Amino acid sequence: MSVEWFWIAVVAVCWGGYPLITRASGYESALGTLVVGLIAVVPVLAIVALEGGGAARPTPAQLGALAFAGLLQGVGLFAFLRVAGGGLEASAAIPISDVAMLVVTALGAIVFFQEAVTAQKLAGLALMVIGIALLRPS
């Protein structure tokens, strides 16, 4: 197994598990989003400390893009945790949100990074959209 597949598994377990734990907490407010967001910084700070500051600092343009990404992540986290704790079934609402995010990411990568559009990729996107349609509450 390549290292990428290991990290994909970590993403799946961590990002697949945290909305379930959030929902199980029974707490639904912006303060909950703040707690999740702040605690999410802890492992990142630990990794930065372990790197010893050896990574190159971002340029101003990179810093601006990262700051904008952070704003999007914050708004998205608030919205996602509202979905995770909301009135819809978690087994439908959370996967629909996740898959919709993946569709936006895949289409954005095609548009902004000129990634190849292949029959396989189109079929995968179509299956994701079909999955959203099948999971949506009636």
Ramachandran bin of 27, using left for φ above 0, alpha for ψ from -120 to 50, beta for the remaining angles: beta
Please give the pLDDT value at position 86: 79
Give the integer Cα–Cα distance in Å for 41 and 125: 32
Write the pLDDT tens digit of every residue in 50-88: 987 677 889 999 999 999 999 999 999 999 999 988 788
Contact (Cβ atoms closer than 8 angstroms) between residue 121 and residue 106: yes
With contact defined as beta carbons under 8 Å apart, do 61 and 75 qualify?
A: no
The total number of structural domains in the chain stands at: 1
Query: Which of 101, 110, 97, 106 is CA-nearest to residue 125?
Result: 106
pLDDT in tens, 95-119: 999 999 999 999 999 999 999 999 9
- Dist. CA 133–CA 130, nearest whole Å: 5
Length of the chain: 138
pLDDT score, position 124? 96
The model's pTM is 0.83
Residue range 7-22, pLDDT digits in tens: 999 999 999 999 999 9
Q: Which residues constitute the domain of residue 33?
A: 3-135
